[in-house]
Amino acid sequence: MTTNTAYLHGYSPQEARRLGDQADTLAALLHAGTAYAPGSRVLEVGCGVGAQTVHLARSSPGAHIVAIDRSAESLARARRYVTAQEPTADVEYRTADLLQLPFAYGEFDHVFACFVLEHLPEPERALSGLRRVLRPGGTLTVIEGDHGSVILHPDSLHAHEVIGHQVRLQAAAGGNALIGRALQPLLSDAGFEQVAVRPRTVYADATRPALVDGFTRKTFISMVEAVRHKALSTGMTTAADWERGIADLRLTADEGGTFHYTFFKAVAVNPA
């Protein structure tokens, strides 16, 4: 991420755990079809605490991965985490600003970005920089969510309102929690070709307890709950309305509840 961008969710140990829960729960869904050939150079941007890096390395054991983030503390966590999970992984860690990439033209065969563009005020500018360091014919893989894709049962206006508060707070921080639906025009406008975007849908109910716990509770609800203080302090809501919305959101993880969310995964080619 860039030095000009505030990461809404913060850098607490709780957030690190949430990112790990999210990556582990969704690994099969999000990383399916992503594997890089031995000897290829892969740039992972905004690697954070390494939650996605470990799965990237696991699916491409012979590739050399350069994982970058603006936070030296996050990179240190990433190194420890990946080393513990995949001790033989070929990963290099670099502190870097996404808008000022310290790499040569065409230095990488592939670029991977997961949950990064949603936090950037200028994703188009970031994509232009990624094209510069990606060799002609190289691929870009981008994965983003879209909070507007949430479908709940029991449905609740109050639950949708607290999700909306998170969306508005992310926008105020310079990001876009609805960016998944815009990936195709974003990448095409940035000059990438052969842009293919596919939805990756999560659906959780009582017959899928691992998803209910790992995604509905520990990933999505946990993320929304974490912005409570900001939502109240900015006057977006009252404590009573917030608690009612969160209570209704939690019902989707109880017996009889269901939760649906759509991620979007894009793969594009840097033209020659």
Task: Read off the amino acid at residue 107.
Answer: E
Share of the chain above pLDDT 70, in %: 92
Q: How confident is the model at residue 139 (pLDDT cuts 50, 70, 90)?
A: very high
What mean pLDDT is predicted for residues 199-205?
Answer: 97
Higher pLDDT, 247 or 13: 247
* pLDDT value of position 24: 83
Residue 55 has pLDDT above 80, yes or no: yes
Residue 3 has pLDDT above 80, yes or no: no
What mean pLDDT is predicted for residues 99-114?
Answer: 97
d(CA 250, CA 216): 8
What mean pLDDT is predicted for residues 145-169?
Answer: 98
* Residue 205 vs residues 29, 191, 222, 254, 256: alpha-carbon distances, Å: 17, 40, 17, 8, 7
CB-side neighbour CA atoms (13 Å) of 265:
17
What mean pLDDT is predicted for residues 63-87?
Answer: 96
Q: Please report where in the chains the tokens 């360091």 appear, as a residue.
A: 133
Tokens of 184: 């195709």
Which fold, 13-269? Rossmann fold (3.40.50)
Residue 84 has pLDDT above 90, yes or no: yes
User: What is the residue-averaged pLDDT of the chain?
Assistant: 93
* pLDDT value of position 21: 72
* pLDDT value of position 12: 58
DSSP tag of 100: B
Task: Choose among 105, 114, 102, 94: nearest CA to 134.
Answer: 105
Dihedral pair phi/psi, residue 176, rounded to 5°:
-150, 105
Share of the chain above pLDDT 90, in %: 89
16-27 pLDDT, tens digit each: 666 557 678 888
* pLDDT value of position 4: 41
59: CB partners within 8 A, 6+ apart: 31, 34, 35, 36
d(CA 170, CA 121): 10
What mean pLDDT is predicted for residues 205-229?
Answer: 96
**Residue 156: exposure state from Cβ atoms within 10 A (0-12, 13-18, ≥19):** middle
* pLDDT value of position 1: 37
Q: How confident is the model at residue 2 (pLDDT cuts 50, 70, 90)?
A: very low
What mean pLDDT is predicted for residues 118-128?
Answer: 96
Domain boundaries, the chain: 13-269
Whole-model pTM: value is: 0.91
* pLDDT value of position 25: 86
The dihedral formed by the CA atoms of 186, 5, 2 and 139, expressed in degrees to the nearest 10: -20
41: CB partners within 8 A, 6+ apart: 63, 64, 66, 107, 108, 109, 110
Residue 31 has pLDDT above 80, yes or no: yes
* pLDDT value of position 18: 62
What mean pLDDT is predicted for residues 53-69?
Answer: 96
